[in-house]
Amino acid sequence: MFALVWALLQLAVFTTASQIPFTESASDYNFTTLELSSLSQEEFTVLAHPQFPSYSVRIRQTASDFCDPSVKSYTGYIDTSAARHLFFYFFESRHDPEHDDVIFWTNGGPGGSSALGLFMELGPCRVVDGNTTKVNPYSWNEKANIFFIDQPIGVGFSYAEFGESVSTTEDAAKDIAAFVSIFFETFSKFKGRGFHLAGESYGGRYLPVYASAIYDYNTVLEAAGVEPINLKSVMIGNGFTDFTAMTPSVYDIMCTPASVEPFVDISTCVSIKTATPRCMKWFKESCIDVFDLISCDAAVSFCDTLTFMPVIAANRNVYDVSKECSGRELEESLCYPITNDIEHYLNRRETRELIGVPLAFENQTFSTINFTVNAAFGATQDENRVQTKFYLENLLDRGVRILIYVGSYDAICNWVGNHRMVDALEWKDSHAFVQQELRPWHISKNHDKTPPAGLVKTAGGLTFLTIEGAGHMVPYDKPVEALELVNRWLKEESFY
Mean pLDDT of 141-163: 92
pLDDT at 447: 65
pLDDT higher than threshold 50 for residue 1: no
Per-residue pLDDT band for 133 (boundaries 50, 70, 90) equals very high
pLDDT higher than threshold 50 for residue 10: no
Mean pLDDT of 415-424: 98
Of these residues, 201, 367, 408, 430, which one is catalytic?
Answer: 201
Per-residue pLDDT band for 82 (boundaries 50, 70, 90) equals confident
H helix runs in 314-381, sequence order: 327-333, 338-346, 349-355, 371-379
297 part of the active site: no
Tell me, what DSSP letter sits at residue 254?
H
Listed residue (465, 452, 454, 455) closest to 401, CA to CA: 465
Listed residue (391, 421, 413, 382) closest to 110, CA to CA: 382
Asked if residues 482 and 474 have their Cβ atoms less than 8 Å apart, the reply is yes
For 123, other C-beta atoms within 10 Å of its C-beta total: 27
Lowest mean pLDDT among 131-145, 212-226, 322-336, 452-466: 322-336
pLDDT higher than threshold 70 for residue 201: yes
410 part of the active site: yes
CB hemisphere CA count around 439 (13 angstroms): 14
Distances (CA, A) of 65 to 134, 150, 189, 355: 11, 22, 25, 11
472 part of the active site: yes
Listed residue (247, 168, 169) closest to 212, CA to CA: 169
Q: What is the dihedral of CA 65, 67, 73, 77, to 10 degrees?
A: -120
pLDDT at 175: 87
pLDDT at 4: 45
Q: Percent of the chain having pLDDT more than 90?
A: 73
Of these residues, 139, 410, 419, 442, which one is catalytic?
Answer: 410
pLDDT at 32: 58
pLDDT higher than threshold 60 for residue 13: no
pLDDT higher than threshold 50 for residue 440: yes
pLDDT at 11: 26
Distant-in-sequence, close-in-space partners of 421: CB < 8 Å, separation ≥ 6: 241, 242, 245, 246, 389, 404
Mean pLDDT of 350-355: 93
pLDDT digits (tens, 9 = 90+) for 158-200: 988 887 788 999 999 988 998 898 888 888 889 999 999 999 9
Please give the CATH architecture assigned to the domain spanning 3-240+385-491.
3-Layer(aba) Sandwich (3.40)
What's the whole-number average pLDDT of the chain? Answer: 89
pLDDT higher than threshold 50 for residue 30: no
pLDDT digits (tens, 9 = 90+) for 261-309: 999 999 999 999 999 999 999 999 999 999 999 999 999 999 989 998 9
pLDDT at 179: 87
Of these residues, 73, 114, 472, 477, which one is catalytic?
Answer: 472
Lowest mean pLDDT among 7-11, 63-67, 157-161: 7-11
Per-residue pLDDT band for 20 (boundaries 50, 70, 90) equals very low
Q: Percent of the chain having pLDDT more than 70?
A: 93
